[in-house]
């Protein structure tokens, strides 16, 4: 099983605040994608319930754990039991009342002093009791805030530490409040808003600490004497309806078409920009190997060095080649295929500023990079050529669409017609024969509602030599969420708009095009889609 944990020096690159509703599935995904062996975790409210489960799972994966709880008897008993299995040097107990800042601070100090550092903080301690709502707010909201601020203090790169991860435990009522426990619902909603704010890349860049949330479904049956915890005894019937209404039906989720874990990828133009971010994200999500193809030897080697430092030297290879020169490009692909043996993902960053070609014969240079890479990609990925199948993603920033939304005509930041060429090749090549999906990914600096352009848009500002066009988004990290989504769900020939990230769970938007020249797209199609 391929598992990786972002290197401390690189944890700021692709972090986002993640909101999950399936506790068990998210824990499993986290375990699968993160190697926590040797890491140090501090878990509050860890003597029982979710906190206990988190602590035990971390220990199973090789972490060192500080079990923190307000009930010393239960906490110490648990530590004694776990120490016999995992060793006394890997688990300790700290008496911790999250409403008491000084005691909370001492817990962090003791954990850091015992294990040398802290890598993971899980703010799980909480209570549901609307009758004692002031204590409820202090534990559920203030406790999470205290824990997150202390985590940034002890793990923050701006404090000389190595960075880390904070997981705040919310609830399904964070999104859908129970009318029977309005104050408890408010505290859990506050956790999600707080997490989304501190999970923004702005704060991650400042501290190196990623902040995310898990929102498990509240189990009403496990709560004893619930009548004593409601604000009013008359709320018992409302509680029963809340619990019954929140019971999720047992459904089998569709299997993703493709995931990065244990897959091999080639990233063209990976020395910077979206290409570099895509390579970093793939490695973070468990890709076995990534090959960077770039014509800039200096920047390419620098990028490779950063990624090797972050993810391991055996998982990244840099190949120097000019994709515009047929002989160099084909040789570069053959070298990558020789290294990887099988390739599943080809990511083509068409926003990359290309250096002048070293080839003296202009006849050997194909100007349309999109078509060139698709042809080459189909040869190395296509099942009809002995490949395993997979996906080719053409990434080109977009200025907007003329004729929006009835008959959208894309206007790119650069000259590459990524959408049109991708769709043409998807129509020409039978996916049943090739096993390769062709997808266009179009980042933009505009929100979806502003993507339409007038019939005669202003010229794209690219007149100043060496200056990046203003329409290419400066922030690159949100391409990671879009990349995950298209790997898993995008259909062959589809084009996706990647808006500026305004929240952690934002996904790309599918762009609809008329199938025939005399047809138009009904704008209502976008109103019915999940935003």
The answer to whether 112 and 154 have CB atoms below 8 angstroms apart is yes
DSSP string, 130-183: GGGHHHHHIIIIIHHHHHHHHHHHHH-GGGTS--EEEEEE--GGGTS--TT-HH
Q: Which two tokens stand for residue 259?
A: 């995931």
The answer to whether 391 and 437 have CB atoms below 8 angstroms apart is yes
Q: How far apart are CA 479 and CA 491, in angstroms?
A: 18
The answer to whether 214 and 51 have CB atoms below 8 angstroms apart is no
DSSP state, 98? T
Candidate list 23, 86, 184, 485, residue with the active-site label: 184
DSSP-based three-state secondary structure for 55:
helix
Q: How far apart are CA 148 and CA 171, in angstroms?
A: 17
Mark whether 485 is an active-site residue.
no
Tell me: cis bond preceding 405? Omega within 30 of 0 counts: yes
Tell me the pairing of strands 345-349 and 209-214: unpaired
Tokens 């509050």 identify what position? 44
| Buried-exposed string 462-479: b where 16+ CB fall within 10 A, e elsewhere | eeeeeeebebbbeebbbb
Q: How far apart are CA 102 and CA 81, in angstroms?
A: 28
Q: Closest Cα partner for 2 from 344, 263, 306, 314?
A: 263
Q: How far apart are CA 480 and CA 500, in angstroms?
A: 12
CA distances from 519 to 234, 400, 512 (A): 58, 21, 12
Contacts of 435 (CB under 8 A, 6+ apart): 381, 382, 383, 387, 388, 389, 390
Question: Looking at the annotation, which residues are catalytic?
Answer: 184
């Amino acid at each position: 099983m391929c598992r990786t944990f972002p290197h401390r020096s690189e944890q700021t690159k692709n972090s986002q605040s993640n909101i999950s509703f399936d506790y068990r599935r998210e824990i499993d995904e986290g375990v699968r994608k993160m190697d926590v062996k040797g890491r140090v975790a501090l878990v509050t409210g860890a003597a029982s319930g979710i906190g206990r489960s988190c602590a035990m799972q971390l220990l199973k994966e090789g972490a060192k754990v500080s079990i923190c709880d307000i009930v010393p008897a239960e906490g110490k008993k648990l530590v004694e039991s776990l120490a016999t299995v995992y060793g006394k040097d890997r688990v300790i107990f700290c008496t911790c009342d999250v409403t008491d800042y000084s005691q909370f601070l001492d817990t962090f100090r003791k954990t850091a002093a015992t294990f040398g550092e802290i890598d993971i903080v899980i703010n799980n301690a909480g209570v549901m009791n609307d009758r004692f709502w002031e204590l409820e707010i202090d534990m559920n909201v203030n406790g999470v805030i205290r824990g997150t601020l202390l985590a940034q203090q002890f793990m923050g790169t701006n404090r000389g530490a190595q960075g880390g991860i904070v997981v705040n435990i919310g609830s399904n009522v964070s999104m859908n409040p129970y009318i029977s426990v309005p104050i408890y619902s408010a505290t859990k909603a506050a956790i999600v808003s707080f997490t989304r704010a501190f999970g923004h890349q702005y704060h991650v860049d400042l501290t190196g600490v990623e902040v995310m949330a898990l929102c498990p479904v509240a189990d009403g049956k496990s709560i004893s004497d619930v009548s004593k915890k409601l604000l009013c005894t008359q709320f018992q019937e409302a509680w029963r309806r809340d619990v019954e209404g929140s019971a999720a039906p047992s459904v089998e989720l569709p299997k993703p078409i493709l995931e990065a874990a244990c897959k091999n990828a080639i990233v063209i133009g990976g020395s910077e920009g979206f290409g570099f971010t895509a390579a970093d994200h793939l490695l973070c999500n468990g890709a076995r190997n990534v090959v960077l193809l770039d014509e800039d030897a200096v920047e390419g080697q620098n990028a490779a060095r950063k990624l090797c430092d972050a993810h391991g030297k055996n998982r990244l290879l840099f190949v120097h080649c000019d994709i515009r020169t047929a002989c160099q490009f084909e040789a570069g692909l053959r070298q990558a295929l020789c290294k990887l043996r099988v390739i599943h993902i080809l990511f083509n960053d068409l926003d990359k500023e290309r250096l002048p070609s070293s080839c003296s014969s202009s006849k050997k240079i194909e100007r349309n990079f999109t078509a060139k890479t698709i042809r080459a990609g189909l040869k190395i990925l296509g099942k009809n050529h002995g490949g395993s199948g997979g996906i080719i993603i053409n990434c080109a920033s977009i200025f907007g669409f003329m004729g929006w939304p009835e008959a959208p005509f894309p206007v790119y930041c650069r000259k590459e017609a990524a959408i049109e060429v991708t769709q043409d090749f998807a129509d020409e090549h039978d996916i049943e024969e090739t096993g390769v999906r062709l997808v266009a990914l179009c980042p933009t600096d505009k929100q979806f509602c502003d993507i339409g352009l007038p019939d005669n848009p202003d010229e794209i500002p690219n007149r100043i030599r060496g200056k990046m066009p203003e329409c290419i988004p400066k922030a690159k990290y949100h391409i990671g969420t879009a990349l995950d989504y298209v790997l898993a769900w995008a259909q062959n020939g589809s084009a996706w708009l990647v808006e500026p990230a305004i929240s952690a769970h934002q996904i790309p938007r599918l762009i609809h095009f008329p199938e025939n020249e005399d047809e138009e797209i009904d704008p209502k199609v976008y109103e019915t889609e999940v935003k």
